[in-house]
Structures are given as structure tokens and as C-alpha cells.
Chains A and B, each alone.
Chain A
Amino acid sequence: MVNRNRRSSWWLYALLAVALVAVVAPFVWMVLGSVKGEGELRASPPTWWPQAASLDNYTQLFSRLDFGRYFTNSVVVAVAVTAGNLLFCSMLGYALAMLDFRAKRPLFLMVLTTLMIPGVVTFVPLFVLVANAGLIDTLPGLILPFLVSPFGVFLMRQFISGLPRDLLDAGRVDGAGELRIFVRIFLPLCGPALATLGILTFLGSWNSFLWPLVVAQTEKTYTLPVALALYSTGQNSTNYGLLLAGATVVVLPILLVFMVFQRRFIEGIATTGIK
């Protein structure tokens, strides 16, 4: 095997470990801060290890929030948006990468163009549109505008264009229909890209705050980030303990999704056999 020199591996591990500590430190501080009291959080100089750790912030969070409902809403919305993106973006990405048709160039240009449009541009007109469609305060109102994303199309298109074209030719020679080639031959090869897109889409949807805030009128449609902001930010002051506890709670499902997707991703590689 190449580059398996024991010595160089050693310092690489050390370097990565230092980098890891630097990168993870703020996150660790956040979790430690969530068990501190408000006084300790505002103390100067700031403390690292909690002086009097307590789960008060968490009990407050769960007792004041209708946690089950907000969590379910967040999950439903994020899963729907992710599923939609995985399906529709890979469909169009494949078409743009592998098929030949008249509208291809303009369509790709349109996708790229949309990618470049700042989100703030469409916010207010989109809201008026959704209101006129009667989708305010509904979960579909939170899902539909984000069911496809130009980012997802771009990602899948780039990835698929790196796959060998002769698979396409081989499939056609075998007499398979175009769609069958897509579903049976190419889609299974898109494991890593789909996993990546899945993680990124889920994350974006899970953390999204402004849109659910304005679309939800009553608390039954709130998602987790909206509900958490409710209890931690005030008119003149912020409840830091609650904020950090809330942030920790919001983060955990994503880390779970990431770990699950990443493992499938590794499995996918291992089974196709890189030797």
C-alpha cells in the first residue's frame, strides 16, 4: 500500500487532533454552557468548566415547550423536503448530465441563475403567494417552496457527469429504456452524492427559522428553532442558558442524521469495492 509510512502517519494524526480540538472547542463550550446558571454565563472572566452544573435549563425548556409537537413538525418538514430534493434533483441532474435535448443548455443556465439569486429577493413575494394559495399556517406551506433546490440539481449534475458514459451506452445497447437506465444503473451509483445532498438539505431545513416564523400563525405549526427563539430571546435581554440548552437540543438530531448517512456512505464505498 502506498504512503503507509508509520512515522508520517503519526504526525498527521497529531496535527488532525489539534485541529479537531480547535474546531470542536466552541461546540464543547456551548454544551457546557447549557448546564451553567445565568450568573455564571455572564461572569467575566468566563469560566470553562461549570461551577455548579444543573439541568435546570433543560427542565425549563421541556416544561415550557410543547416539545413533542415542535419536534414532530420539524422532522416532518425536514424529511419531506429532503426526500423531495433527493428525488427531483437527481432526476434533473441526471438529465442535464447524461441526456441530450434542446432545452438542456437554457435549463442548466436557469438552474445556475436561480442559485445566484439572493434569497432575500423572493422572500416577501413568496409569502404573499403562499398566503393567496391558502397555505399559511400549514405544513405544506413550509414544505412546498423548498421541495427542489438549484443547489441540489447542480450537485447531482456535477457528480453524475463524472460517472462513465459507457454505462449509458451499454444500457441502451441492452435495450433498456432511458428511465430504466437512470433508475437501475445510475441512481445506485449516486450513493455518496445522495448522502451528501441528504445531509445538507436536512440541515438547511432543520435550522430554517425565518420562513417557518412568518408562515406559522399558531403554535401548532411551529418548528423547533422558532419555538426555541420564543423562550430565549427577550425584548431587552437574552436568556443565555436557555439559548444554549435549546441550541444543544436542536443540534442532536442533525448529528444523528449525519452519523447515519455517513455510515451508509462508507458502506456504499466498501461494497462497490475500492481495492
Chain B
Amino acid sequence: MTGTRTPALASAPAPAPDRELAGSTPPRQGRQRRREGRAAILLALPFCLLFLTFTLWPVVQSLFMSITDTRSRDLRHPFKVDVTGFANYARALSDPTFLSAARNTAYFVVVGVPLTLVLALAAAIALDRGITRLRSVFRLGFYMPVVTSIVAVAVVWRFLLQQDNGLINTVLGWVGISGPNWLGDPHWSMPALILMATWRNFGTAMIIFLAGLQAVPWSLHEAAAIDGAGAWQRFRHITVPMLRPTILFVSVTTGIGYLQFFEEPFVMTAGGPLNSTISMSMYTYQQFGFGNYGYAASLSYLIFVVIAVVTAIQFRLLREKD
């Protein structure tokens, strides 16, 4: 990467983007700012146009739906509905199924995100630095689960998770553990889904970490090793700080993805058994399916609020330190 050109500067932590250039004089600053402003407008234009049309407008429309009692039949005359204010939101917060869904989602995220990140980072480091040969084979192999469609994957995993003949319980049996009825037992259904989701998603995080690791110059590690630093120390003091923006990115996007987890319970367990795997997104989807558009819209905005809070926390914790 660029590390060979100016090694000293490249080893500095990623700079905060809105720091002024030191030592500029005011007139040059003004002209510079105008140039930057003009360039920024051009660069941002395509995104803003598409965003306004295809995202912002639908969002506003569904925000509106969430404060009314819109049902599917009302969509042809969207304004002929009764405004109900926050009634939908209040109903959601006292809906026992939604609260179960919220608990399940929290369980999934709290366990699933760290698990996925740790596995992905471990795999990325092993592939980037630990081995020299067969890298592309391992990379391709670990990425494969990401690529397959959920419906096909579900068929396979249902066989794997069978109590009597499933592969997982067979392997557990080799070490003397009698595996549970994964998908049929309310206590083990979530762990089964977490396992499956981690399997499916760690490949994506892994390739993003690989991209980030490429930007960590080898020369730094060599220099540190010569100074006597061990592998773990080098990891903590060189790799992690340089990977900070990448870790933040992976953590945020995985968190956002997992907070909306939907496909695994939808395809594998339909939310059961006994509502132990129903997620917030799945419940929202069900409500849309029943035609309760107003209620479903309010549920999705509650999910949004949760996502916003969790993301903000992650930014706080993992933000680039100056």
C-alpha cells in the first residue's frame, strides 16, 4: 500500500477528517474552502438525487402511516385514514409478542455480534499473516456460506440440526455429549440460529477485515519485532489501532444487520417453538402481511430507534481516537 512512501506518517492513527490544514493563511483558506465546497457538491450529487427519490420519500410516507390506522386496503386513498398519533407505538410497547421478539433480538445481537467479529478477525489475521500458501482456497471456502441462498441453506441446516441423525449431534456424540433437539426445544432454538447466522455472515466480515489489514504496513511489524515485541503485543498496539475504522465499520454494520435478523427464524422455525425465535423484524413483516400497515410501520420505527441507539453507543466506544 502507501506505507512504503511515507512510513512515519502512515503509522499515525487515521486523522479526524475535519481537522483544518495547519498553517494556512485566511485568504487561501477561503478560496480553498470554496473549491472544496464545489467539488463536494459534484461528488455528492448523484447520491443525493437517488436518495431523495428512492429512500427519503418512501420513508416519509411510512412515517405518516405509522401515526395513522392505515390498513392495506387504504393504500389507494392514502389520506382517507384516521390519525391516531402515537397509539400504534403505545400498543407496540405493551404487545407481549413484540416484547418477546425484542428480548430474542437482544439475545441474538449480544451473543452473535461479538462471536461473528472474533471469528472473522481471527480468520482474517490467520489468512493474512499466519500462512503463506493456499490463501485463496481458505478465503474462498470461508466466504462460501455468505454466497448461498438462505432457502437452500435452510434445507441443509435442518438436516444438520436433527436430533437423532443430524451431523452436529453426531459430532457431539463423539465427545460424549448428547445433543438436544435443537430446533424443537425453546432453550436451544436461539443458540442454533445464532450458530447458523454466524456461519453465514462471518465471511463478509472476514473479507472486510482482510481489506483493512492490507493497509497495515508489514514494515511496522518488522520494526516492532526487531524491538522485541511479541505477536500479541504487536496485535494490540499496531494492528488494532490501525484497524479501528474497519472494526467500527464491521461492528456497526453487523450490529445493524443482526438487529434486523429475519431470514433465519423465518425460514427455519417460523418464530417458534413457543415464540422463542421470533425477531422484531419478523413480527413486523407478519403485521405487514396481515395488512396492518400503520401498526407495522410503527414497529419498524421502533426498531430504527433501537438501531440508532446501539449504533451511537458503538461509535462512542470504537471511534477513532485522536
Contacts and interface: CB of A to CB of B under 8 A. Distances in A.
A219 interface: no
B17 to A, nearest CB: 5
Nearest to A261: B207
Given A95-B44, A101-B37, A116-B307, A247 B148 contact: yes
A115 interface: yes
Contacts of B218: 274-275
Interface string B234-262: 00000000100110110011001000100
B282 to A, nearest CB: 10
A203 interface: yes
The A interface is mostly helix, strand or loop, or mixed, namely helix
B1 interface: yes
Interface in B86-134: 123, 126-127, 129-131, 134
A148 interface: yes
Given A26-B157, A125-B62, A265-B211, 13 more contacts: A20-B142, A46-B159, A105-B18, A118-B303, A120-B281, A121-B301, A125-B57, A148-B46, A155-B249, A179-B43, A258-B140, A258-B147, A274-B217
B274 interface: no
B245 A162 contact: yes
A23 B304 contact: no
A117 to B, nearest CB: 6
Interface residues of A, number: 113
B308 A116 contact: yes
Given A107-B44, A162-B215, A247-B151, A88 B140 contact: no
Nearest to A102: B37
B84 interface: no
B221 A158 contact: no
A144 B211 contact: no
Interface string B132-175: 00101111111111111101110111011010110100000000
A214 interface: no
A33 interface: yes
A189 interface: yes
B101 to A, nearest CB: 13
A256 B127 CA distance: 20
Interface in B39-95: 39-44, 46-48, 50-51, 53-55, 57-59, 61-62, 75
A145 B54 contact: yes
Interface residues of B, number: 112
Interface stretch (A50-58, A59-67, A68-76, A193-201): A193-201
Given A95-B44, A158-B246, A44 B165 contact: yes
A192 B151 CA distance: 30
A182 to B, nearest CB: 7
Nearest to A97: B17
B189 interface: no
Interface of A: 1-3, 9, 12-13, 15-16, 19-20, 23-27, 29-30, 33, 44-46, 87-89, 91-92, 94-105, 107, 110, 112-126, 128-129, 144-145, 147-148, 151, 153-155, 158-159, 161-167, 169, 172, 177-179, 182, 189, 192-193, 195-196, 199-200, 203, 207, 209, 225, 229, 240, 243-244, 246-248, 250-251, 254-255, 258-259, 262-263, 265-266, 269, 272-275
A99 B1 contact: no
B142 A92 contact: no
Closest 4 CB pairs of A and B: A247-B152, A178-B39, A125-B58, A45-B165
B165 A95 contact: no
Nearest to A195: B211
B313 to A, nearest CB: 13
B188 interface: no
